[in-house]
Structure 1
Amino acid sequence: MFKNKKLLPGASIMALALSSASGAMAQDVPTDSERAAERASDDNVIIVTATRRSEGLQDVPIALSVVSGEAIAEQGIDDLEALSDLIPNVHIGKSGSSNQIFIRGIGSGNNQGFEQSVGMFVDGVYMGRARNSRAAFLDIERVEVLKGPQSTLFGKNTIAGAINITSGQPTNQLEGYVEANYETEVNTFGVTAMASGPLSDRFRARIAANYLNSDGWMRNSAPNGEDGPGQENIAVRGIFEWDAADALTLNFKAEHGEFDIVGREQKLTISTPTSDFLFGLGSDPNFASTTGFNRNKSDAGFPGRPLLDNTKSNIFQMTADLEVGDHTLRSISAFTKYEYQNCTDADYAPVNFIDRCRNEEHKQFTQEILLTSPSGQTVEYLAGVYYQDADLRSDASTTVALSSLPPIENAILGLLGGGAAGSLDTEFLNFFRQKSETWSAFAELTFNLTDSFRVTGGLRYSDDSKNAVKQQITAVPGGTTSDPFLAFIMSSAVLGFANQYSYDLDRSENHWTGNLNLQYDFNDDIMGYFNFGTGYKAGGFDADNGLDRSRQFEDETVKSFEAGLKMELLDRRARINLAAFINSYDDVQVSSFETVGFIVGNAAKTKVQGIEGDFVFAATDELSFHGAFSILDAKYDKFTNAACRISQIQDGSCAANGGFQDLSGQPLQFAPDTSGNIGFSYDRNITDGLVVSLGTDVLWTDDIVVAPDGDPNVIQSAYAKVNARIGIEADDGSWSLAVVGKNLTNKTTFNWGNDASLSGTGFGFENAYFHHIQPPRTFELRARLAF
């Protein structure tokens, strides 16, 4: 059988922690005590909970990448967006008002009504909104990224995968640390502190807090325009654990976070002379010179509405573990809430033309009960029930001030037969309320048929219901009631910005999902697996549709086939993992930009197939190499009703095709044909108590389609980035000092972009595009003191 021996002696924390379990290892079914002894004897075994059991990474039958808390701290990884750079086929990045999370080219676009394609779980609690993924890391034990559908054990909205985050837990011994970091190029300062230990024989606690302040990397030449994205983040967490009885442990968590951003990384990058002239009617005479892919911009929000993104969040959670004979009964109860205010300059220029703000609040209660059988039996099983109740309020206001552009205003007034200056200035008010309820029941059985062969099957039933109330009002700026004149003009053929409407709708759906997994040990060092799974993402309501062209979108489903090999060679100094997959998606939910907002619908069919691999090789006890790669073919099988590009609207081909374009056979968003990373780590004791470490990683990607309509102006061309680290630390881990360099060749790249607002209206803004520019080369000093 395969045993968890000490793997890759001398390999660095990063090389060991950032590894992919592309397959599972069938075993001789050791008892719980035998497994515990094996793990205790092997410092390199990483414990994960991807199967809802605490298991070694090598025992897990899922395509899985894991990054440990130590690696997160060493590499200066502050959040999920930075983490995603290290894992091929994973994209996490900010858009205008949310985060976009994609795995293998499948994710959710920009619409507040969307559920997520990639589910995020923190300490076993489902975080149902993309906004939750913006939080900074705080005292993390590990992050697990599960690729492919995970519907049996994790439920709906894991159609592309799941992210499972585990916080540091209270310890039986007193320990703690203080860590500070300073980054020179964007003037970032941060500090994190943690203390953990026993308060009595039966009571333990862990308290952690961090603070971060940053100026950002975009320089803004507009008067009263903010540089940015400047950040000020504060987070505090307390976890208290009580052995209430010999068989009962209670774990209570309370967490509060405030994440404030001023200024944005967005800028107008492509513009025509006419657009430059119109946008340059603002107060910055240097506006035109800021276009292009650099980190200089000129934009500003309306007076009194600065460009900002402020979030407050709270989490309260109680987890109870009861030992019932050899079984474990777990209850997870949680209440989560966030609220945020977001204002963005939707014209991307210093002129006060288009401004958009959003206020959103989301409250969620979840309850899960899970029964787990003991490990080491011929038949193992787990079963559970899950309930979720969520309330969403999302209100947006979009102000269009045509008076700031007299040439445009005069031209439109001329078409309307005259009017006073400023009479067409308008504010569109969008009010969206949604209540949703989900309950599900699930079970999974594992049959250990022989010492080498294991079969696992799972099934889940889910029931979802939603109610949405939506209203859109056309008003004078600052008003709260409908203005009949503006409502008529703004919905007319002359402008066609938005319509007034309201609705109160209900929808419900139910699904059976499941998976079948086969695992086989070819020998002690080579394992293989095959997995078939299904999944779904719930349908819902279009929260951001200004023109009322779509009110609902349908659920999305997937069938997934995956096979993999996991090998350990050269006396287990080398690890190689390979996985091949074919995923077929039906009724894929898409979000496309139209005039001043996004509308959603369902594409017909999408196929995602490819090969992923990773390796770790300990050349010596001091030098190791590591890497990962992906070859991906992610395309629309059939998508004949896709939103048109601006160029197609202008040349008439969009109208000739009924107002749509055909994207069948075209690549998906955030799905490069190839991507990967390669690097080395070197650790050497220079004295009996002192260790020097250094390492370098090269991360590369092929061309990335960023815009949902496939516009070639929003394709990030292929690039490579180089990161490096050099550090010195005490051999006992009591202190460390390191310098971390990122993007050392100073590549200018972007991770979001699209047509600028009104670029397809014919008023002179044609062929104008914005992009979100990523950080430049940075150098960060990190110091840590542990006790």
Structure 2
Amino acid sequence: MKSDKKPNSAHTILAIAVAITSPIASAQPMLEEVLVTATKRPSGLQDVPVALSVMSGEKITEQGLDSLEDLAIFMPNVHIAEAGGGDQLFIRGIGSGVNYGFEQSVGTFIDGVYFGRGQASRSTFLDVARVEILKGPQSALFGKNTIAGAINITTAAPGDEFEGLIEAGLEPEFGHWNITTMLSGPVTDTLGARFVIKRDETDGYMDNTLLGQDEVQGKDTVARLVLRWTPSDDLDVRFKYEIGESERVGRQNMISIASDTAISLYQTADPNFSPAFSYNKSMANVGDIRSDTDVHDSEWAIAALTIDWMLGEHTLNSITGYVDYSFDNYLDVDYGPLAFLGRGRDEAHEQFSQEFLLSSPTGGALEYLAGLYYQQEDLQHDSFTDAILSAAGIGNGNLDATGVGSFQQDAETWSTFVQLTWNASDNIRVIGGLRYSDDQKEFEKALYASDPFTSERNQQLAGIYDQILNFQTDHEFNSSGAVVCKTLAYVCSEFPDFTNKRDETHWTGDFTVQWDITDQLMSYVKIGNGYKAGGFDENNVRGRVDQAAFEDERVEGVEVGAKMDLWDGRARMNMAAFSSQFEDVQVSTFDGNSGFTVGNAAKAETRGVEIDGTIAVTDALTLSGGLAYLKADYKSFEDAACSEAQVVDWIADGGTRPTCTQDLSGAPLQFAPEWSANLAAVYYVRVTDTLEMKFGLDAMYSDEYVVANDQDDKLNQDAYWKFNARIQLANIGDTWSLALVGKNLTDEKTTVWGNDVPLAAQGFSGTYFQHIDAPRSFLLQARYNF
């Protein structure tokens, strides 16, 4: 949604860059070293030839960040948000569209275990040590589905001393509260344990005036047990087990723009309906035997076993992971008060993975890291779409139906990789990584029309929904081939040569030259490639055999960077310039009526510059910030789906809705602002001999960006600033603290997702829904350590 503010982005952000990197005469404070695992070995941030952003667990807690979506606003060139049917993760303008068959362009790893489903980004943060955002292709060390980057999350482990904490937060205006309890310490001389549990509840910041309820109501409970066994100096074994559940009622969306025809239809259900981009909404789901409001419930169980074994001077690492994740939801997909379209999904995802790493000692002329990876996953996805068209004045009940669908996929991946580091001299290193991957997938899919709220097939309704309403087509894909039933006469065609299996192999890797110009300045040049696996379209509602599968997506990129320590260790600044070429980009675009067009765009390119820096001005004052310039666009995309305005013109000229295409060559990618930045200041003041105060201020900027994949400018987000602030009172020993956090202090209204309301051809053309971000809020925090 458009913001009222029009900041001069280039001048403002360049001024910030100068401010955070200019020396200020003072005492001689020192910055602490930041340790990361971006190279599969613990290393200092300034020693790693990778562009990455890091946020500590302390910062996450202080800002009251609950998930990756909350964190993304602090990271230039990073976008993580909930969309219409799933979650989206984008780095540098590259991400995955909304389709449950898509793999992710940004891989998420928690304690070394890969999480392949987009829903993982919704999981609440719990006892996080740090989050690393690696930008650019990372396939040599992290494997497939990291063509845009990787999110590397590390959680806390048991320490050598007993410790505990009770931490609570309260946001009274929106009924939001949470409480976390943690106990950690040694159980025996060789065994340590850490247990943490968190409960989080909220009433939400939206007001659904039609149903008289606040949204999004949420209840999250998550608990984790970590055991660490160290029987000798050569063996370290860690076991983690986590369980959690999440319940959601309502969504943060509303109809922001509506045609006169749509408004008149909506006002038959709610006379007070008026479209607006605001925190008020008028929405009801189908109801009857379903829910009359949006619901989304999920639960998960995660187990991970990590073994670090010293074999002389070598180290053997084993990471075994098991993830069992499921959710069920029922969402209003007409987005308004008429309550005539509702879609429910039940998903169960089970994944097992095993990785072995063998690393050589460091410091010699040649170092190496070799690995073997295996992953097996089962995905079961059942869906039902209730189309009660009579509630919208379409038919007298004779057209009401439910579309019953299923999608099952079994996937198996194995890969092997090696990375060699040649220390050519004391200050030059040459690093090469190579990975071979094999991905196999097999799927079954079915969709058919039935009588409302039943699973009984109705061929007459199926013919109407295919031929007249263009809503869906009965079909079935499996190992025997494909069957598609079309037309009013319900004529079925068989495609025995159709295959429901994919097998693709890839060689990927990267090559880096790293040069320590001085003891305080490191530079590097990195070239590499990567891929995102192909797959099968879960949302292929028209049963298009030729579009049942989509191909793998590939990238080749180059990055030039520098990392420097300045002013005797009291400041650091990192820079990276990058250019990446993407082939066969996977895209998913809403067709304006009922489904999404899924396929591979021809080419895309991203290039830009990123700068971040930190200055310890004094022992009491620290400044930090980041700045990113990004140019991301399609180099060739000649058959993209049309926007609704283009469809209207196309039909007026005698065309049909399914045949309308546009050329998006040269158009910008989604969620790719040209400029983005953040600036943070932290200041400590000693109040008494036993008390101190801590003041924090964060400013985040984003240039305008495209939201809809069809480039409909009605949904574009204009440039904006957001400001957070925090005041904390604590005792010197940090036994306890009290704090007040203010978020989005200027109450900026922004959007992260929007699209056309379905059934444009039935009177809803020119009508749009949008998701709205949280308004200004204040959070009280209390913490007690023991």
Alpha-carbon offset, residue 246 of structure 1: 4.7
Q: Which AA in structure 2 matches 1:230?
A: Q
- Equivalent position of 1:499 in the other structure: 473
| Partner deviation per Cα, 1:308-355 (whole Å, 9 max, x = no partner) | 111100001111121111111111111101110111111111212111
Q: Is the 8 A contact 2:30 2:570 kept in 1?
A: no
The answer to whether structure 1 residue 143 and structure 2 residue 131 are counterparts is yes
| Partner deviation per Cα, 1:651-699 (whole Å, 9 max, x = no partner) | 0179499521111000000000111112322112222332211121111
The answer to whether structure 1 residue 444 and structure 2 residue 431 are counterparts is no
| Partner deviation per Cα, 1:730-755 (whole Å, 9 max, x = no partner) | 22221111111010011111111000
Match of 2:661, SS state, is coil
2:271 pairs, out of 269, 282, 285, with: 285
Whole-Å separation in 1 of the counterparts to 2:373 and 2:417: 8
The answer to whether structure 1 residue 709 and structure 2 residue 725 are counterparts is no
- Equivalent position of 1:480 in the other structure: 455
2:527 pairs, out of 524, 532, 553, with: 532
C-alpha RMSD of matched pairs (Å): 1.7
Q: Is the 8 A contact 1:542 1:599 kept in 2?
A: no
Match of 2:271, SS state, is coil
- Equivalent position of 1:195 in the other structure: 183
The answer to whether structure 1 residue 373 and structure 2 residue 360 are counterparts is yes
TM-score, scaled to structure 2: 0.91
- How many residues align? The count is 731
- Equivalent position of 2:309 in the other structure: 322
Match of 1:652, SS state, is helix
Q: Is the 8 A contact 1:280 1:349 kept in 2?
A: no
Match of 2:618, SS state, is coil
The answer to whether structure 1 residue 520 and structure 2 residue 515 are counterparts is yes
1:211 pairs, out of 196, 199, 210, with: 199
Q: Which AA in structure 2 matches 1:311?
A: S
Whole-Å separation in 2 of the counterparts to 1:449 and 1:112: 47
Alpha-carbon offset, residue 621 of structure 1: 2.3
Alpha-carbon offset, residue 243 of structure 1: 2.1
1:106 pairs, out of 91, 94, 102, with: 94
Q: Is the 8 A contact 1:102 1:117 kept in 2?
A: yes
Whole-Å separation in 1 of the counterparts to 2:620 and 2:359: 41
The within-5 A match list for 1:729-740 is: 729-740=730-741
Alpha-carbon offset, residue 597 of structure 1: 2.6
Q: Is the 8 A contact 1:96 1:344 kept in 2?
A: no
Match of 1:280, SS state, is helix
Whole-Å separation in 1 of the counterparts to 2:710 and 2:543: 20
Match of 1:590, SS state, is strand
- Equivalent position of 2:622 in the other structure: 624
- Equivalent position of 2:773 in the other structure: 774
Whole-Å separation in 2 of the counterparts to 1:252 and 1:513: 31
- Equivalent position of 1:27 in the other structure: none
TM-score, scaled to structure 1: 0.91
Q: Is the 8 A contact 1:116 1:158 kept in 2?
A: yes
The answer to whether structure 1 residue 645 and structure 2 residue 629 are counterparts is no
1:464 pairs, out of 439, 453, 459, with: 439
Match of 2:763, SS state, is coil
Q: Which AA in structure 2 matches 1:56?
A: G
Match of 1:717, SS state, is coil
Alpha-carbon offset, residue 168 of structure 1: 0.5
| Partner deviation per Cα, 1:89-145 (whole Å, 9 max, x = no partner) | 000001123210000000001000000000000000000111111100000011111
Whole-Å separation in 2 of the counterparts to 1:376 and 1:42: 26
Q: Is the 8 A contact 1:473 1:481 kept in 2?
A: no
Whole-Å separation in 2 of the counterparts to 1:226 and 1:481: 34
Q: Which AA in structure 2 matches 1:456?
A: I
| Partner deviation per Cα, 1:581-608 (whole Å, 9 max, x = no partner) | 0000000000111222323100000000
Match of 1:58, SS state, is helix
- Equivalent position of 1:185 in the other structure: 173
Q: Is the 8 A contact 1:517 1:530 kept in 2?
A: yes
Alpha-carbon offset, residue 626 of structure 1: 1.7
Q: Is the 8 A contact 2:753 2:771 kept in 1?
A: yes
Identity of aligned residues (%): 46
Whole-Å separation in 2 of the counterparts to 1:451 and 1:405: 74
Moved more, 508-517 or 235-244: 235-244
Match of 1:488, SS state, is helix
Q: Which AA in structure 1 matches 2:784?
A: L
Q: Is the 8 A contact 2:210 2:337 kept in 1?
A: yes
- Equivalent position of 2:11 in the other structure: none
Q: Is the 8 A contact 2:168 2:179 kept in 1?
A: yes
- Equivalent position of 1:561 in the other structure: 558
Match of 1:281, SS state, is helix
Q: Which AA in structure 1 matches 2:448?
A: I
| Partner deviation per Cα, 1:453-503 (whole Å, 9 max, x = no partner) | 1110000000000001000111111221321100110000x2111101111
The answer to whether structure 1 residue 313 and structure 2 residue 300 are counterparts is yes
Q: Is the 8 A contact 2:30 2:569 kept in 1?
A: no
1:393 pairs, out of 367, 373, 380, with: 380
Alpha-carbon offset, residue 42 of structure 1: 8.6
1:331 pairs, out of 312, 315, 318, with: 318
Structure 2 CA distance for partners of 1:475 and 1:186, relative to 1, 3 Å: same
1:611 pairs, out of 609, 612, 615, with: 609
Whole-Å separation in 2 of the counterparts to 1:625 and 1:152: 34
- Equivalent position of 1:4 in the other structure: none
The answer for unaligned runs of 5 or more in structure 2 is: 1-15, 22-28, 479-499
Match of 2:678, SS state, is strand
Match of 1:462, SS state, is strand
- Equivalent position of 1:133 in the other structure: 121
Structure 2 CA distance for partners of 1:524 and 1:216, relative to 1, 3 Å: same
Whole-Å separation in 2 of the counterparts to 1:396 and 1:435: 18
2:56 pairs, out of 52, 68, 81, with: 68
- Equivalent position of 2:281 in the other structure: 297
Match of 2:108, SS state, is strand
Q: Which AA in structure 1 matches 2:208?
A: N
Q: Is the 8 A contact 2:350 2:377 kept in 1?
A: yes
Match of 2:71, SS state, is helix
Whole-Å separation in 2 of the counterparts to 1:437 and 1:482: 34
The within-5 A match list for 1:114-129 is: 114-129=102-117
Whole-Å separation in 2 of the counterparts to 1:738 and 1:480: 54
The answer for unaligned runs of 5 or more in structure 1 is: 1-14, 21-40, 410-420
Whole-Å separation in 1 of the counterparts to 2:517 and 2:35: 24
- Equivalent position of 2:43 in the other structure: 55
- Equivalent position of 1:417 in the other structure: none
- Equivalent position of 2:539 in the other structure: 544
1:358 pairs, out of 342, 345, 367, with: 345
Alpha-carbon offset, residue 728 of structure 1: 1.2
Q: Is the 8 A contact 1:97 1:342 kept in 2?
A: no
Q: Which AA in structure 2 matches 1:777?
A: R
Alpha-carbon offset, residue 643 of structure 1: 0.9
Q: Is the 8 A contact 1:329 1:371 kept in 2?
A: yes
